[in-house]
Chains A and B, each alone.
Chain A
Amino acid sequence: MKLVIINGSPRGKKSNSKVIADWIISGLVNKIEVEEYYAIQIKKHQEAISSIEDGDTILLVFPLYIDSVPGVTKLFIEELDLIKDKVKDIKIYYIVQSGFAGAMHSRAVERYLIYVAKHMGFKYLGTAIKPSAEGLRLMPAILTKNVSDNFKKLSKDILESRNFNQEVLIDLAGFEVPPLKYRKHIEKGKGGKTYFNSLLRKHKAYPKRFDQPYVKK
């Protein structure tokens, strides 16, 4: 029995999904064999899928893209369908992380993920949702400690093949819908402005930030 991690991020190895996968792996403390694959490496999908054997556990970790799975992750799921009914006793976990705050954003795709598990005949053991995740790959370890500790706790569940711990999931998810104070902050134009403006300036694109290149005049 091994753990097959599918990283669904279009950013591949330079992704927040990879940062989270590494936390999970470190929490496994070498107690289980791990294989990692990347959905963006489309040519390797077949290899990833044929590596899945009876009794294995799958962890699919991906960024929320336009309220759902990224296109390449969806492609992987379509190809996974090839082994439906061909493998036995497969367990599956999911991790969805998103840019926006509010776990609500990921609830729609969570329903789909549960459907996929059922459709494939896999044992569904939970979905961890981590909103406000775009900064994870950029932040120093000290600022992400709470999050990384939570993911390492989930590693223990993977080792035991049990459901993701509910309390940990709640802590990772944070609020479902932003509280009033947070909404007011966003309404004042404060959401993501510092970060994106600094990048726009760095690329000398700040004056063009509101461009509407595709509108026919």
Chain B
Amino acid sequence: MNITIINTSNKLYSKNDFPNHDVTLFNTTELKIKSCNGCFDCWVKTPGKCVIKDDMEELLIAIINSDLTVYISDIKVGYVSSGLKMIHDRTLPLILPYMDIVKDEVHHTKRYEKYPKLGLVLIENEKISDEVFDIIENSYVRLSYNMRTELLFVIKDDNMLGGLNNEISNY
């Protein structure tokens, strides 16, 4: 099983933090990832590829070749960070421009046969109220429909990622 962990929080992790699992790990504060500019070139000019040349390509490769992708984010103003949101925006090349019906709604057609399951770890740097947790969870359920996959878990970080290691083991 391939697991990709994309840590966008200010805290840096190493593979040693996941002793029992073989993971591909990114600390994105050490990478250069620009904002999507909405050009749609990944759909109509260079199908499947983003035209912005930065570290995002490496992430896209790791995401699409994983069975489970886990995102780690700080909480900023009651939501995941802009750093993580910019990464999600840049995943558009992974799907096709064409439309499909998913759960009775319009969504995009798959570009790849298989998409990784999703997990989200929220670093409780500011208090996560039930309302905030619910808003984020709901938003990621939506994101999972859009990215043609399923949300496996959203957890608040407990010490040393004990929670995440558990989730991965359970998976």
Contact = CB atoms under 8 A, between A and B. Distances in A.
Check if A and B associate: yes
Interface of A: 9-11, 15, 40, 63, 65-72, 74-75, 77-78, 80-81, 100-102, 104-105, 108-109, 111-112, 115-116, 119, 177-178, 183, 186-187, 189, 191-193, 196, 199-200, 202-203, 205, 208-216
Interface string B17-39: 00000000000000000011111
B65 A213 contact: no
Interface string B76-95: 11110111011111011110
Given A66-B146, A78-B81, A100-B105, 10 more contacts: A70-B85, A81-B76, A108-B139, A115-B135, A116-B78, A177-B104, A186-B100, A191-B99, A191-B106, A215-B112
24 contacts: A11-B37, A66-B85, A66-B143, A67-B139, A74-B79, A75-B82, A78-B77, A81-B76, A105-B105, A112-B78, A115-B135, A116-B77, A119-B78, A177-B104, A186-B99, A191-B100, A196-B43, A196-B97, A203-B45, A208-B48, A211-B47, A215-B64, A215-B65, A215-B112
A211 B57 CA distance: 15
Given A81-B77, A210-B96, A210-B111, A177 B105 contact: yes
B86 A71 contact: yes
A208 B47 contact: yes
B168 interface: no
Contacts of A66: 85, 88-89, 91-92, 143, 146-147
Contacts of A178: 101, 104-106
B47 A209 contact: yes
Interface of B: 35-40, 43-49, 57, 60-61, 64-65, 76-79, 81-83, 85-89, 91-94, 96-101, 104-107, 111-112, 131-132, 135, 138-139, 142-143, 146-147
A104 B99 CA distance: 16
A214 B48 contact: yes
State the main secondary structure of chain B at its contact with A.
mixed
Contacts of A112: 78-79, 135, 139
Nearest to A78: B76
B38 A205 contact: no
A191 B109 CA distance: 10
Contacts, number: 170
B85 A74 contact: yes
Contacts of B82: 71-72, 74-75, 77-78
A200 B105 CA distance: 25
A209 B87 CA distance: 23
Contacts of B48: 208, 211-214
Contacts of B135: 108, 111-112, 115
A65 B104 contact: no
A86 B47 CA distance: 47
A205 B138 CA distance: 36
Contact of B38 (A9, A81, A191, A212): A9
A203 B106 contact: no
A178 to B, nearest CB: 6
A169 B63 CA distance: 38
